[in-house]
Amino acid sequence: MKPFSRIISGTMTWGAWGSKFSIKQMQALIEKAVSLEISTFDHADIYGGYTTELEFGKAFKKSAVNREDVQFITKCGIQMPCNARPLPVKHYDYSAVHIRNSVEDSLLKLNTDYIDLLLLHRPSPLMESHIIAEEVQRLQKEGKVKQLGVSNFSSSQIQLLQQEVSLYWNQLECSLTYENAMFDGTLDFMKLTNIGAMAWSPLGNYFKESTIKQNRIQEVITPLCKKYNCSEDQLLLAWLIYHPSNIFPVVGTTSGSRLKKAVDSTAIKLEKIDWFLMLEASMGNPLP
């Protein structure tokens, strides 16, 4: 399997949950991403109320991109009440039947024969590792799933699953404004057990909120943007990429120009002292 691209394109807001792109617009964004050497696309069955995978699949079929040149990530496990599924309550389901049905449904919608990486979307208090392992291993033997990973799992939850099945990635929330995984042992454990790190919301809340914390960060990064000749979003990505866990940002933008900026951020050579200046600004106090 080809390695994932250093910047991963997240599709959560491509459809009903965001930009409401047409099939033609999705096709153009897929082709733009690939032209920028972004080959990995991140999905989840629930995106767009269970509609975005299907729209993406139609767009990809119309594109000039070969399936062998890209990687599809998708997630399963969340049962979300919506028009497509009028459930009484949001819950998690990691039964063999649900895993099987979710994968088969994603394969059909994405118009593909295999999923490069299947992620268990969120940990369930009722999940049984041996049931998950047995069904995933069946799917792997059938060639329908290449690798298994998790999303938003703690070290102990990962360890529980690892007793039964190999895990390759954990996609978790991590950014300058949400750096918990760098201090609670999660990234340390993942590095120790050779589990790759992907970060969703890699820009954090910096552009979403106007807070004292955001103001502190802005005061520090404004001169740094001039120093590194980059934008704020590029500096935030460069900060995340600097970490020794080799974190892969999942970028949710639907703008081709911002995708290019994300790719260009990987070339920024951040100095260690500046990394700590940004961290201190986020924390609001010096390191102990």
The 8-class DSSP code of residue 74 comes to E
> Would the pLDDT of 152 be above 90?
yes
- Distance, in Å, from the CA atom of 1 to the CA atom of 69, rounded to the nearest integer, reads 10
Among 264, 272, 266, 281, residue whose Cα is nearest residue 204: 281
94 within 8 A of 131, measured Cβ to Cβ: yes
**Mean pLDDT, rounded, for 52-74:** 98
Residue 220 confidence class, pLDDT cut points 50, 70, 90: very high
Digit-coded pLDDT (tens) for 85-128:
999 999 999 999 999 999 999 999 999 999 999 999 999 999 99
151 within 8 A of 170, measured Cβ to Cβ: yes
Residue 150 is encoded by which pair of tokens? 């998790």
Digit-coded pLDDT (tens) for 30-48:
999 999 999 999 999 999 9
Q: What pLDDT does 2 receive?
A: 85
What positions carry a catalytic annotation? 47
Instruction: Output the average pLDDT for the chain.
Output: 97
**Angle between the N-to-C axes of helices 212-228 and 232-242, in degrees from 0 to 180, rounded to the nearest 10:** 90
Residue 50: count other Cβ atoms within 10 Å of its Cβ: 18
Instruction: Indicate the length of the chain as a whole number.
Output: 288
Residue 1 confidence class, pLDDT cut points 50, 70, 90: confident
Residue 269 is encoded by which pair of tokens? 């050579």
DSSP for 176-200 reads TTB-GGGTSSHHHHHHHTT-EEEEE
Residue 7: count other Cβ atoms within 10 Å of its Cβ: 27
262 within 8 A of 237, measured Cβ to Cβ: yes
Residue 157 confidence class, pLDDT cut points 50, 70, 90: very high
Among the CATH numbers 3.40.50.300, 3.20.20.100, 3.10.20.740, 3.60.15.10, which is that of 8-209+233-270?
3.20.20.100
CA angle 102, 85, 61 (to 5 degrees): 50
- Distance, in Å, from the CA atom of 142 to the CA atom of 132, rounded to the nearest integer, reads 16
- Distance, in Å, from the CA atom of 233 to the CA atom of 244, rounded to the nearest integer, reads 20
74 within 8 A of 47, measured Cβ to Cβ: no
Buried b / exposed e over 174-208, threshold 16 CB at 10 Å, is bbbbbbebbeeebbebbeeeebbbbbbbbbbbbee
